[in-house]
Structure formats: structure tokens, C-alpha cells
Copies of this chain bind each other. A is one copy, B any other.
Amino acid sequence: MSKTIRVTVWNEGVHEKTHPEVAKVYPDGIHGAIGGFLKEQGFDVRTATLDEPEHGLTDEVLDETDVLTWWGHMAHHRVSDEIVSKVQQRVLAGMGLIVLHSGHFSKIFQKLMGTTCNLKWREAGENERLWVVDPGHPIVEGVGPYIDIEHEEMYGEQFDIPAPDELVLISWFKGGEVFRSGCTWTRGKGKVFYFRPGHETFPTYFHPQVQKIITNAVRWAKPVDRPAVEFGHSQPLELIEGWKQQ
């Protein structure tokens, strides 16, 4: 119950190498920034990136992962289908998954949602304001009525996702759009949280309230301790006339 939660922070890690303006904002990579504040919260944190063998997501790593966070953007297509299927199975078996910003187009998110996860977007560095609409949700513990982010990329509706199980945050953008910015779903035994902000050219992951949300989401998404679900052929639990055990 009070065991330390083990988090694996996954990052594509390409922008940081190819775009100096991104490296300037995130000198340790986006994974470095996210892993950093999660460590400070006392979680057991490791990072993994696209270019590592098996993208850093070996069976051994996944065996020791309670919650996986996912940031990707320009190299979604380079993530192996095999790894994606493995991660999907882990989520269904209980591993939490937190999908960040442009991760909306990652294979793993699309696979778990069953939709394109497409949206409208614009890079105008405009102001984003995320309003809390589910004020009793543990993911917004310690957060005010809204979060202001001075400069962000715009994502606008229609966001092609299944209706979230819980809608926690809605974004307002100066340019005239709205967006469902904090959404939860359950898939199998696993909890999934999508959190919108986090464009690579802005220091969004250093924003204290953004860090608070991701920290809360890790706690919320940790697996519950239950036996694996059994499927398949099943004996009756009550007497059925004429039934012979098979």
C-alpha cells in the first residue's frame, strides 16, 4: 500500500538532439525534466528513450514499472509495433499510463483509444488556461481553480478520442478554441491519463502546477493489487441440470 511507486519516464528524445532551441529549454531532455521533479516527490524513477535497445522498455524494465509516462512527437512511427503491443498488454494488466501533449498521436495512445486521436493545432505561443471541472478529483489535489500557462502550443477541438471516463480539465486558448486537456480512461486493469500541455519549445514541465498535476496523476494511476483476471472456458458456480464438467 505504502510501497514506493516505480515510474518509468519515456521520451522520444529527438527534438532535444536536433533542435538547439529545445535543448536550451530542456538541457537534460524532457525526460530529465519530468524525471527530475518526480524523483523529488519520492518516487522510484527511471527514464527510457527511443534510441535505447527496445526503446528502453525491456521486460525487465516493464516488470519494475508501476506507472509509465509517455512523451513523443516527431518519431512516433519509429516506435516498434512489438513494443507498443507489449506496453498495451502491461496497461491492461494494471500498469498506469500518462500520455503527455504530442503523445496524443503515439501508437500506444491510438491503440488504447481506438480512434485517430487527431485534433486542431497552432504554434502561436499563445496563452493557455486550464480550468478544473472535476474539483474533487485526486489529480487536481492542491491545484487552484485554473492553471495559467503564458506560452503554449494550441490544441483545439474536435479532439478525436472516446468520451473520457472522467473529464478533469478544460483548456481555454486566446485564439478562440477550447480543449479537453485532462482526461482519464480505464483500459483493463490499467488507468490512463492524458494531459495536454508540454510543447518542447516552452518550459512547461518546470511549471509548478503542471508538475503537481503529473505527480498526482502518478499516484492516481498506480496499479491495484488484485489477482490476474481469468478468461475462457468456465465451470458453472450453480447447479445446471444435465451439465457434465468439461
CB distance from A47 to the nearest CB of B (A): 25
Task: List CB contacts (< 8 Å) of A122-142 with chain B.
Answer: 122, 124, 126, 129, 131-138, 140-142
Query: What copy number does this chain have within its complex?
Result: 4
* B226 and A135 contact, CB distance less than 8 A: yes
Task: List CB contacts (< 8 Å) of A158-213 with chain B.
Answer: 158-160, 162-163, 165-167, 170-178, 180, 185-191
* B227 and A136 contact, CB distance less than 8 A: no
* B229 and A158 contact, CB distance less than 8 A: yes
Q: A119-B231, A188-B160, A234-B154 are in contact. Are A165 and B167 (CB under 8 A)?
A: no
Number of interface residues of A (CB under 8 A): 78
Q: Which residues of B contact A177 (CB under 8 A)?
A: 131, 172, 234, 237
* A235 and B122 contact, CB distance less than 8 A: yes
Known: A131-B157, A135-B188. 18 other contacts (CB 8 A): A121-B233, A122-B236, A131-B156, A131-B177, A133-B180, A136-B188, A136-B223, A144-B226, A154-B234, A157-B170, A158-B230, A163-B165, A165-B165, A171-B178, A174-B236, A174-B240, A175-B238, A178-B178
